[in-house]
Structure 1
């Protein structure tokens, strides 16, 4: 899966105290764990089976892997606790700080990550989930979140920044590795970057990846047909795409953060892909 850093902590390498904390949440000790790839976090990510047959998804990280990651996990836990039932996201079962390990235990979602390059069957499921998110989370039901403009200040140019405002709950970090599909539906996972902004922002951000991996026609068709974007001025979407291209290329030129060796290459690919997409849209 794209974005996998290949350096995740494994379940068996976590301290016994973390294992005990997860068992306390589940009410039974874990007897099997299957590590999950994808994403950029250096922490653990495991589907676990407990002795009593219960299942969950567990993620844990300490400052030894990356200094910023525990705070992101803690923020995700606060956000997950406030997500209403209608939001297509796993339910948080428990979260705790064990020594210096931030641990999250969530419902296991019976799904898989979307296939890359993107297929329209998977994308259609995700689009429906995002349209559902806009229905149940406008106005945003999660208190205390920054606005998209606040979250992206210093990242997007001003011209793009002024266009992303709104009152919808926004995930703000959608890629295939932060999505699961199965059983005719899709779930959004990993919420630490959530904010309040334009209802179309998540779909536009997801289409960065769709377009870059060869789905140019699929990305443009989705923009034309989804209820989230079909009535948005195309020039607005192009300006925001161009702003994100600038952001990704700027970040790609910086040193890699500790524990995240693949991040800069991913950002370079995203920025270059977005620049090509912007050029095509402006040539029409």
Structure 2
């Protein structure tokens, strides 16, 4: 890869990407609902977490009976989270603590808000920066997700990863327009040559047939959706986009960030049983369609209840996925990143 792929803005710090209300800022009916679904009055509320991309409440609560729980609450000011909270609660109830997911304590509506109370998990975010130990622990968790039998996966989700990601029309249109020159390359992402851009678009259009599968895919696995417990086990949180797809998708989705921070992504891919027998073209098609998705959405205004750092995250994802794909396919940057 050329230096053009490294000539980019500072990396997103996933520990500090949100501005959320504190527990005391919530309407009384919402605070009461959290206590009700938690099963005990709230005695102490820790400061809201600063990870994630929505403006919804999220934080640790200590209850009168001594339990600690993690609570989320979303209202009309955060419409994305308002839909996501009950969706995640339903998915987590079906998972019932399997594959490192947190258990649900309780969930429900509170006037025009939605709340969920989950098992509290102590740990640190991986990838701050990525270390070999964190990468190995994350890989072990990806193996655990992939081991869930297909019949149990079908009980958790009916969503198809191939349809939701591989056949996403906005992503594919973005790749086509970048290749044709109808669209400018987004800020912070190096331009490819005409031939490389054509190849990128062609790869993206193959993703729908390459991303079929019957295994559990979290589909949004990134540093702030994982916690490394003190014992080294990685717990996966924020289960909003769960789908059925290839066993390798979640792990491959993390490799570009690991490569960007100096880890041997090629070696990890070669050694992983998740990728045994998987054609390079399948991996590259996945990388391509994600580049299209991130490049498309990075150019949109942020929606209500989110911060501009969401778009910085999407530009970083497009940039790192493109860098690793270019490395895998022997491309070099044809131009500099847009500033």
* TM-score, scaled relative to structure 1: 0.92
Query: For structure 2, which runs of at least 5 residues remain unmatched after alignment?
Result: 1-12, 173-203, 332-339
Mapped to 1, the partners of 2:18 and 2:66 lie a distance apart of: 29
2:218 equivalent to 1:171: yes
Task: Tell me the equivalent position of 1:47.
Answer: 60
2:85 equivalent to 1:73: yes
Structure 2 contact 256–323 (Cα < 8 Å) conserved: no
2:282 equivalent to 1:269: no
The number of aligned residues is: 281
Task: Tell me the equivalent position of 1:249.
Answer: 295
User: Quick check: 196-205 or 221-230, which moved more?
Assistant: 221-230
Mapped to 1, the partners of 2:55 and 2:305 lie a distance apart of: 6
> Matched residue of 1:60: which SS?
strand
User: Quick check: 258-267 or 89-98, which moved more?
Assistant: 258-267
1:1-150 aligned at under 5 Å gives the runs 1-2=13-14, 4-34=16-46, 35-64=48-77, 66-139=78-151, 140-150=153-163
Mapped to 2, the partners of 1:42 and 1:55 lie a distance apart of: 22
Structure 1 contact 180–187 (Cα < 8 Å) conserved: yes
Cα offsets for 1:125-167 (capped at 9, x unmatched)? 1111110111124341434521012222223533122211100
Structure 1 contact 117–215 (Cα < 8 Å) conserved: no
Alpha-carbon RMSD: 1.8
Q: Residues 171 and 121 of structure 1: is their aligned pair in 2 closer, same or farther, counting only changes over 3 Å?
A: same
Mapped to 2, the partners of 1:10 and 1:209 lie a distance apart of: 31
Mapped to 1, the partners of 2:157 and 2:288 lie a distance apart of: 29
Structure 2 contact 45–62 (Cα < 8 Å) conserved: yes
Structure 1 contact 175–209 (Cα < 8 Å) conserved: no
> Matched residue of 1:142: which SS?
helix
> Matched residue of 1:215: which SS?
coil
> Matched residue of 2:257: which SS?
helix
Query: For structure 1, which runs of at least 5 residues remain unmatched after alignment?
Result: none
> Matched residue of 2:20: which SS?
coil
Structure 1 or 2, whichever has the larger Rg, is 2
* TM-score, scaled relative to structure 2: 0.78
Structure 1 contact 96–103 (Cα < 8 Å) conserved: yes
